[in-house]
């Protein structure tokens, strides 16, 4: 499994990650920013979303991370 962190303070809600990795990244409609699909969320605190994804989704998530204009997505490989 791969750990992901989304920093909602940095996120501008541009939607790039929603297009690159649909079903993994989704819009938090209450804030207009990115969150993770519920099956990947481990928790939230201090404006950050913590999650875990299966290794087979790494390429999609990595592409989303690299294309985030505000660097709001970070991956922690294990």
Q: Domains (ranges, CATH) in the chain?
A: 2-76 (3.30.70.20)
| Strand ranges of the sheet holding 48-53, from the earlier edge strand across to the other edge | 41-45, 48-53, 2-7, 73-76
Q: What is the pLDDT of residue 77?
A: 72
pTM, two decimals, is 0.91
Q: What is the pLDDT of residue 78?
A: 62
- Specify the 3-state DSSP secondary structure of 57: helix
Q: What is the pLDDT of residue 51?
A: 97
Residue 46: which region, alpha, beta or left (left: phi > 0; alpha: psi -120 to 50)?
left
Distance, in Å, from the CA atom of 4 to the CA atom of 73, rounded to the nearest integer, reads 7
* Residues near 27 by beta carbon (within 8 Å), at least 6 away in sequence: 13, 15, 18, 33, 34, 35
Distance, in Å, from the CA atom of 71 to the CA atom of 55, rounded to the nearest integer, reads 21
Task: Identify the segments of the chain with pLDDT beneath 70.
Answer: 78
């Amino acid at each position: 499994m791969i750990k992901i962190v989304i920093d909602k303070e940095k996120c501008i809600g541009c939607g790039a990650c929603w297009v690159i990795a649909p079903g993994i990244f989704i819009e938090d409609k209450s804030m207009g920013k990115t969150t993770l699909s519920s099956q990947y969320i481990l928790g939230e605190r201090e404006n950050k979303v913590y999650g875990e994804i299966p290794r087979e989704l790494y390429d999609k998530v990595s592409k989303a991370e690299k294309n985030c204009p505000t660097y709001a997505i970070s991956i922690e490989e294990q």
